Structures are given as structure tokens and as C-alpha cells.
A and B are shown apart, each in its own frame.
Chain A
Amino acid sequence: MSSATKDELPGYKEKSQKLLREHDIVVGDTVSVKTDEKEFNGLLMPRYESSDNNHIVIKLENGYNVGIRTSKIRAIKRAEKHASHNEGYEQSDDRININSLKQYNNTRNSDFKIALLGTGGTIASKIDYRTGGVSAALSASDIYNSVPELKNYALIEPEAFLNEASENLKPSDWTAIAHRINDKVSSKQYKGIIVSHGTDTMHYTSAALSFALQNLPIPVILVGAQRSSDRPSSDAALNLLGAVVFALKASISGVFVCMHADPSDDAIACHLGTRVRKNHTSRRDAFESIDFPPIMIVRGEILEMNIQASRLSLKKRDENENIVFKPDFDKRVLLLKYYPAFDPALIDYAVAMGYRAIVLEGTGLGHVGRESLPAIRRAVESGILVFMTSQCIWGRTRMTVYETGRDLLDIGVIPLSDMLPETATVKAMWALANSDNTKTAVKLMKQNLANEVSMSIPLQR
């Protein structure tokens, strides 16, 4: 084998790739590199896609990676082909096997089964310290190894369904996920379904599933990690544990998101799938319930239902009931945020593009500037549904208070109370796909199907 394929030299381009190919070296090979100054021995590492093409990266015997400038290399040779055994990380008898963790080796609790559907976003990672490579841990044994306490609770059946960063997910993926969940729920084998998901768009998916999977007999819980699962401090394990405890013990059903309630590894907040939003780029407690406290807090094995939950109509868990399955979405819905320099021509453009509905993220109680009114009128007249939500995120729209609001109502803009802009967009896609005409779609939009509207907003946040 003389020419390495592209995949064997990930990240290497042009000069550096040419050099390595000439010497028949691929990533993972043990190499010896001589420069004017010294000789390096170690493993050839992959390069990040964005890195330059002037260096090769070697993992030295002391564990460090270093980049060597190709122009300085006088000689390079491969010591041996990449072998999959664990050289460089010797297993001597002064190492204690992981089985010493005797307290976790109690028999697996197999009375309860939980399905774990992987869609991307890793709950557990494996690190190969020889190469420094990180990969997702997807098998059941991988997950038990990462979170040994799971054995005490339930039999977890993982399935790697999708492997996509959540920003790449589309409405068609929501449909596919909904179908898979429907299969699992219908099999009546499980106490609950857990969906591991990248966090960026987790709240869109949770809203989508809330409408697609109605009358759920068992809870469906989305779970993710804000801090990557390849770090010992990751929030992934506790989020998963919280989701498992919730799936087993909660008396309610529906679609939920389970994530850290605060920066501590202590309380897991369970949010309603339609009321949750990612409100921080990186914190563990980025996910917050809007206009309503998290419905439940899981602390260890204890579930604390929030007192405010009595204001809601929540579905009881009933394993004999049947799901109402409506998995389709029409993606022709535009989410549009109003701002002071907003150009009303965008609305005309959306009409021309063939959008069927526009969800406006208006200011305050649900307003847009006067100049936009004619364009909105044209849109409504052409048969497009125009909905109003608020960019304040917290609080309800109330369009009868000020003149602009009243004008918008007159034009035919439909206020969506305190529905989150993201939830409203997802719901509009679902409503359009599940109704024969716009009238029915509007009716669906005005119905409170999955607590997407808080009828009364408690003072407590």
C-alpha cells in the first residue's frame, strides 16, 4: 500500500499531506522525525480541519502533542504500522482493574426497561489515551461503564438512531425521531423513552415531539450535555440519571427536557417540552422554563413536583393508553424578529418565497413599527397566517393595550399569548401539516395542546 487515502490523513493538506504520503505514513503510525535540532518519536495525530498545512502533529511519549514544521524535517520514517493493542499504556499488575469498584457490581436491575435513543450529542465518551482520540460511547456496556449507578435503576436499551449535531437537524428529522419513538412506545415494553440530543436545538425538538406525540402513555425525555461528555466534570451523567429516575417514577406523561437546575451536580430540572428554552451558550443550567417554573426537580431518587403544577392540565401516566400520533411538519414557516431598522420588504419577500405562515417576534406586548403595517396587511390578504409572539421571551402578548397592537389585530395578525417564539414556529409547522385549510390551522394554533400557553403565569419564576 503506497498511497494513503484521504481518510487516513484527516486534516492534512497539500505540503504536509504530500510529505506523509511520500513516506507511506498514516495517522496512528509510530514515527520518527528528524529535524535540524532534534529527533521526535511518537504517534502521528490528526489535524484540525482549520489548521494550516505547514505542520505535522506528533504525540510524544510523555503524552504531549507538538506540531513540527514540515520545512524543518530532514528525515521521517515509520517505525511500525498502527496497531490496535494498547502499547504505550502498559497494563501492569500494580494497576487495579475497574472491577475493584465493587459497590457498583450489584446485579443489574432488569425489572424496568428504558429505551435510550441517540440522535447526536454524546451522553458518554470514550477516550483513547494512546492517541488522545475521543469517540462517542454508544453501546449499553459503554453507557453502564460511564454511569455505573444506572445498573441500580433499570435496564437501558440504547440505540444510535441519528448522529447529527443538533444545529443540523431539520423538521424531517423530527418526523423520523417521532416515528421511532412511536414504535418503541407502541411496543409497550418500556417505562419511558429517553432521547439524547445536542443542546443547541433541543427545545425545538422537544416542542415538535410535544405536538407529534400526543396522549403519550409513558414519558419521553430529552437529555443533553452542556459541558462535553469527554471531561470528568461533564453534566451528561447526572442529566441522564435524572432523566432515568424521572422516566421510572414520574406519575405524569408527556414530552420533557431534563437538564441541570443550577451549576451544582445536585438538582435536575424537568421542563415541559413546550415551555423550555436554551438561555445560555455554555452554562449547565442553560435550559429554563419560561413563564413557569420547571415542572419537577429530581434530586437523587427524589422527585419534587412544583406546587405551581396544579395550575396546569397534565397528562397522567397510563401505560394502557394509546398514543395520538401526528408526526408531520410543513417547514414553510418563517420566524421573523422585528428590530428598529426592520425592512418591511422582507415580509413581501417571504410572501413571494411561498411561506405559508410568519411568526413575528414583536417588541414588548406584541408590536412592530407603523411602517411595517402595509406589508403585513398585504401578507394577510394573500392568505398567509401572521402570528405575533414577543421578543421579551418572558410574558404574554397583549395587543389591545396600545394603538399599534389594535391596528395589527385589525389587519388580522393572530396573537399567541405567551407561547415562546420557537415553540410557536414549530407549532405552526405542525398545524399547517395537520390541517386541510388555514382555518383549521388557526384553530389548532389557538388551542392549548401541550401547555404551550400558560393560562396563568405565577409570580414565582
Chain B
Amino acid sequence: MKSLSVDLTDIKLTVGIEIHQQLASKSKLFCDCKPKDSGKNSISFFRKMRPTQSEMGTYDPAVVFEFGKMRTIKYYSSDTSSCLVEADEEPPHEVDEFSLETALIISLALNSIICDELHTMRKIVIDGSNTSGFQRTILIATDGYLDVNERRVGVQSICLEEDAAKLISDNGMVREYGLDRLGVALIEIALKPVTCTPEEIVTIALSLGRLLRASKRVARGLGSIRQDVNVSIEGGSVVEVKGIQRLEDLVKVIRYEMIRQHGLLRIAQMIKSRKTDPYYFGESIEDITGIMAKSTSNVVSKVLEGMNAIFKAIKVEGFKGMIGYEPYPGIRLGKQISEMVRFYGLSGVFHSDELPGYGINDEEVQAIIKKLRMNSEEDAFVVVGGPKDKVDFAVDSIIHRFKMAMAGVPPETRAATLDGKTVYSRPKPGASRMYPETDIPSIPVNRIQLAKLTGQVPKPMDQIISSLVDRYGLNRKLAEQIFDSEYFNLFEEIVTSMKKIRPTFIASKLTEDLLNLERRGLDRSTISDNIIVDIFCRIDQGVLAKESVTLIFEKLMKREAKSVEEAISVLGITTASDLELDNAIDFILKENLPTIYEKGFGSIGTLMGKCMAKLRGKADGKKINSILKAKLELLLESHIAKTDSDI
């Protein structure tokens, strides 16, 4: 086994990043529904999408395929967060003013040239994620920049657009979407491609994310920001990777793509050294259903059980050994092809480099070789099985994929996986198919309006952090942490309304403590904003000890309690009264008299430990400490006085 780590330092990487950030608007972009996840779906309906006919007679291949499938799409609508607009049963309302202002403010912050008049466009999306069959999008500004450390990164374009419906399931026949998210305002920022390391891209993305958050007009939390990246390495072509939700994954995904693309380039080099003419690819395609029907392979017989199932074999001139060749672990043409074929809803795909195998024996392999009239010393073949119409689509694209293999990296759209890799998701779409949204009039951008918004442009990150340090007495690291966290707005709310608690304490509980608990595998989603406010309110009123915060978080995250009240009672941390406190400390002092007399004031450490063990969560540690100290001093004084008198 080769090691997974590949030296990437010599590979010249270019990355264009595109971020999609949900805005914290009170209503959706083109209707008055609240952008919240209601979770409950009460109504459902079915639709089928058809591409509108274009003048050209050709469509995007992905559109053609989606249409070929004529898949039924089922939408779920909730009682409260979607209306006729999301169901495409009513024309869009006017553009949400807050969202539009936000887009303009961010455009100003990114030093961009704002369009004089805004036009809403329809961008064709036929996978069902938009009930209308298109996504509404408005170009707001172009040609801006963002300074990150010493580097000036160009901003290509800033668009305001509607978010898509959320995919619930897809069984190949019916695709299900929920309408809650459809129409939520998104700002799309496309940065100009930069040549850099994966780590530098993360820094750039982080700076951009902070700038957006500094506007206090964007949604926070998982799923509210999504990154797409266009990754290319020298000698290859641009591959679009969609749907990276966490910045931590960005480095992994880019590294994986670098290795994958470099691997594909190496395969291309190897093929070029052979005399292979892609012109002949697809020259020999044979229906081999008869041969495969005799096979004892489970995979094969499962495919053949389906409706109108066939198997086809394609000869690939001069590719022997190349489909299974792995320049880097896990990177081989065979895998790329089986991923691609899955797009067409097929799983039965084999190639000659891995056969005999999978229950397909040598006799069958020889029969295929014979039928394809191929030179088994030089050529390879691919077998694909499934319903006839799908196989026909897949055969065309497999041949096309082999032609692309000669060049190295095919331009395509891939999806980021949870483990930081990428998988094929669809052919690269052609130029966006856009036409005007005639239901919405154009919007002139007034210079006076822009001047008014200038005051709301977020300050640079440095200034924001410094002001947090000054205002709240936080250290720089904590200020950055709380600013980046999804609790920042909540933090400011708590700090301003609960004056008795130190901001540093609140910030560290909301960042480090919660993060630590999460690292232990606990589920933070149980801690709602309301719960957090409840906890700090109790502390502010003096009915809960500061030490209890983490304990309560833990109980809730372990789902051992459902409310703060319940957590407190489970933990048994009712606040001790002053009298109880006195008694408890007196009791501990009495029990430890020998140590006290022996060590004098030096015994305070041990005593404090014992007090805390008994009183943790029932009283504030500082309070315990000061009472203990006073009582100890008193005790020691009287003891000294006593000893003196004895002499």
C-alpha cells in the first residue's frame, strides 16, 4: 500500500471560491413567509418539470438527462413557513427590502461596483429544487476586492438570490423536497480565482465570512453558509465542487481534488505514450445481454431482474491496464466511471482490468472480447447494465469520458462528501440558461440610498475585535472566538441585559466550554438560545452558582434533562442559603481542626477543596472562599490567643 500522503508542494493550484450565505432577513426574498425551519409538513403535492424549448434545439446534457428521467417530484409544504409563492401557485412579491439593503451594504464593504439598475433573472434549474424550474437571481455588483493579510483578492460578482428547496429523499423514481428553505434570501459572492495553497484559501474564506458576520445581517449556524470551489491544477481543467458546509472540510476537499486531478493527469500521460486514437472509441459497442444472462454473478442477475434490463459492452482502444491503474491510492479511471454511471441511476458497471471477478468468469470475459472483436493484449472494455434507456445514456457518456481521459481532467461538477472527498455529481453545466423574470420590475439603485447605507458598512475585522476587547474586557483570542461563534448576537444581548456577570465568563462558557463538551461527542443542538438565556438569568439573579453552567450544559446535552429547571433538580444544585453555607463551612472546619492547627493558614487550599466538593453548584466559589478565609482567620486568631494564654 502506498501512503495516502502525496507531496503537493510542486502542484500549482488555482482556486476560485464562491460562497452562499443566508441572510438574517425577517421574510423570504420574494414572499412574506418567515425563513424558519418549521419541521412539520402538512401538505404535499406532485410536479413534473419540463425544460422550456430553446431556440437552439440543444440542451444542457444534464437537463436532457433529467428530462429523460421525467422524475416525479414531491413537495412538502408546512403550515407556517411557505405559501402559494413557494408552491409556484402565485407570482413573486416585491424583493424583500432588508435583503436588498444587505446585499448593497456587503457590496460596499467589498469595494464593488454596484449596478445602476437591478434586473431579476430566472436561472434554469430543472432538478426540482425550485418549484418554478428556475432560481431567481439578481446581479448586484461586480469588480470588487477584499484585502486578506497582504493579499488583495478580487471579487468577481455579488448576487442576491433565493435558496433552493431542501432535498428530503430520492429513490430514483420520486424525489422529495421540503419547501421551508425555498426562497430564503442568499447572497452569493464569487471571488476571482487565486493561485495559492489550500490553507491560504481557508484564510480568505474565513475573512470573507467574518466580514459578512460583522454586518450582523446574516444568518449564523450550520447550513447558513455554503462554499463552492472551482479547483484546477496546472495542465488540467476547472472542476466545480459544491456544497462544502464547514471551513474545516475545505482544506481536505481541495487536497483531495489536487491528488485526484494530478492522478488523472498522470494517467493521461501514460495513455499518451501509447498509440491510442480516441476517434475509434465507441466504434464497437455490443449488446451482451445474452452472454451476461449465463453468468452466475449476483450483481449481474440482480440487474437482469429489472424491467427492460440489458447489458452493453464498449471497446476502449489501447486502454488495457489503464482503467484499473492507480497513480495514487483510490484514484483510478474505473472508479471515476462507476461514480459517473451512478448519476444515471445505474450500479452494474465492470471493466476488463477487474475481470474475471464479481462472479463473472473467464469464459464470459472471453466471449465479450470475441464479440467486441478486440485485441485483448492492448484494448480494454467496459460493461454497463440496467434499464435500456438509462444504459443508452450511460454508454454515450462513458465514451465521452474516455475521450476526456486522454486530456486528463474533465470539467465536471462534483459534490463534497462528509469525509472531505469529492464524488461526481453531474456533467459541467453549459453557460447558465438565464432569461428575465418578467414578474418583477427592474429596481433602480438610488445614489442617495447608497449614501445612507454607507454608515452601515461593517468595519474591518481588526477594528471589530479591538472594540470587543475594549468594550467587554475580553482577551483577543476570546473576542475572536465569540465573534466567530454562532452565539455572538446572543452574547451581546446577555452582556447588555445582565450586568452582574462578567462578559469574559459568558464568552468562555459559550465558546470553549460548549466546544469541549461537543468534542466529547455530545449534541449541542439541545442547547437553544432560550436555554442559554435562562441559565445566565438565574446567575444574574443570584439563584444559581456560576460553577453550575457547565454541569447544566452537560446534563442537557446528554439528554438527561429537558429544561434548565429539570437539570438543576437532577443535579441537586439548589442554591444554599447563607445560613446553610455557614453551617457547612463550620462543619468542615471542625472536622479538620488538627490539620488547621498544624498548617495554620497554609491549610486553606485543602479546606477550599473540601468545601467545593460539598458545595459545588450550590454557591459561588468566590463567596465560599471569602467566607472560609474569614472564618479561618478568626479560628486561627482565637487558637493563637488560647495557646498564648496556656504558656
Contacts and interface: CB of A to CB of B under 8 A. Distances in A.
A97 interface: yes
Contact of A129 (B157, B427, B433): B433
B52 A127 contact: yes
Contact of B58 (A72, A91, A127, A128): A91
Given A54-B444, A265-B47, A282-B84, A96 B132 contact: no
A282 B54 contact: no
B53 interface: yes
B52 A231 contact: yes
A230 interface: yes
A79 to B, nearest CB: 18
Highest count of chain B CB atoms <10 Å: which of A67, A229, A233: A233
A176 B427 CA distance: 51
Contacts of A88: 431
Interface stretch (A99-107, A190-198, A345-353): A99-107
B52 A230 contact: yes
B117 A96 contact: no
Among B46, B113, B124, B435, max chain A CB count under 10 A is at: B435
A259 to B, nearest CB: 13
A436 interface: no
Contact of A52 (B49, B123, B133, B444): B444
Given A95-B60, A103-B389, A72 B89 contact: no
Contact of B139 (A51, A60, A97): A60
Contacts of B327: none
Contacts of B419: none
A125 interface: yes
Nearest to B124: A232
Contacts of A266: 46
Contacts of B441: 48, 50-51
Contacts of A103: 68, 389
B117 A66 contact: yes
A63 B59 contact: no
A404 interface: no
B131 to A, nearest CB: 6
B553 interface: no
A86 B55 contact: yes
B306 to A, nearest CB: 16
Interface stretch (B32-40, B282-290, B314-322, B392-400): B392-400
A101 B67 contact: yes
Contacts of B45: 262-264
Interface residues of B, number: 65
B116 A227 contact: no
In this complex, the member of A89, A91, A129 whose beta carbon has the largest number of chain B beta carbons within 10 angstroms is: A129
Contacts of B253: none
Contacts of A67: 115-119, 442, 444
Contact of A128 (B54, B61, B64, B116): B54
Contacts of B121: 63-65, 132
Contacts of A165: none
Interface string A243-265: 00000000000000000001111
B53 A86 contact: no
A126 B54 contact: yes
Contact of A101 (B64, B113, B157, B427): B64
B206 to A, nearest CB: 27
A233 B47 contact: yes
A227 B115 CA distance: 30
Nearest to A129: B433
Interface string A58-86: 00101111111100100000000000001
A284 interface: yes
B624 to A, nearest CB: 65
A129 B56 contact: yes
Contacts of B89: 227, 263, 282-284
Contacts of B113: 37-38
- Most chain A CB within a 10 A radius of its CB, from B52, B122, B131, B432: B52
A232 B133 contact: yes
A96 B53 contact: no
A451 interface: no
A421 B115 CA distance: 50
Interface residues of A, number: 67
Contact of B55 (A45, A55, A126, A281): A126
B360 to A, nearest CB: 28
B61 A94 contact: yes
Interface in B431-484: 431-436, 438, 441-442, 444
Nearest to B122: A231
B323 to A, nearest CB: 21
Interface in B44-90: 45-61, 64-65, 67-68, 84, 87-90
A455 B382 CA distance: 69
A308 interface: no
A125 B57 CA distance: 13
B435 A134 contact: yes
A94 B427 contact: yes
A57 interface: yes
A331 B639 CA distance: 117
Contact of B53 (A45, A54, A124, A133): A124
Contacts of A91: 56, 58
A142 interface: yes
A264 B131 CA distance: 11
A57 B438 CA distance: 14
A229 B51 CA distance: 10
Nearest to B85: A282
B142 interface: yes
B49 A233 contact: yes
Nearest to A61: B431
B439 to A, nearest CB: 9
A132 B435 CA distance: 4
A130 B430 CA distance: 13
A66 B159 CA distance: 12
A95 B84 contact: no
A185 to B, nearest CB: 30
B126 interface: yes
Contacts of B249: none
Interface in A112-126: 124-126
A55 B90 contact: no
Nearest to A36: B113
B91 interface: yes
B42 to A, nearest CB: 14
Contacts of B392: 100, 102
B115 to A, nearest CB: 4
Contacts of B124: 232
Contact of A72 (B59, B91, B116, B438): B116
Contacts of B57: 97-98, 145
A38 B435 contact: no
B436 A38 contact: no
B442 A97 contact: no
A98 B64 contact: yes
10 contacts: A64-B119, A67-B115, A97-B57, A100-B392, A101-B64, A101-B67, A132-B435, A145-B53, A232-B51, A283-B90
Ordered nearest first, which 3 A-B pairs have the shortest CB separation? A67-B117, A232-B133, A63-B434
Interface of B: 45-61, 64-65, 67-68, 84, 87-91, 113, 115-119, 121-124, 126, 131-134, 137, 139, 142-143, 157, 159, 389, 392-393, 396, 400, 427, 430-436, 438, 441-442, 444
Interface of A: 37-38, 45, 48, 50-52, 54-55, 57, 60, 62-69, 72, 86, 88-91, 94-98, 100-103, 124-130, 132-134, 137, 142, 145-147, 227, 229-234, 237-238, 262-266, 281-284
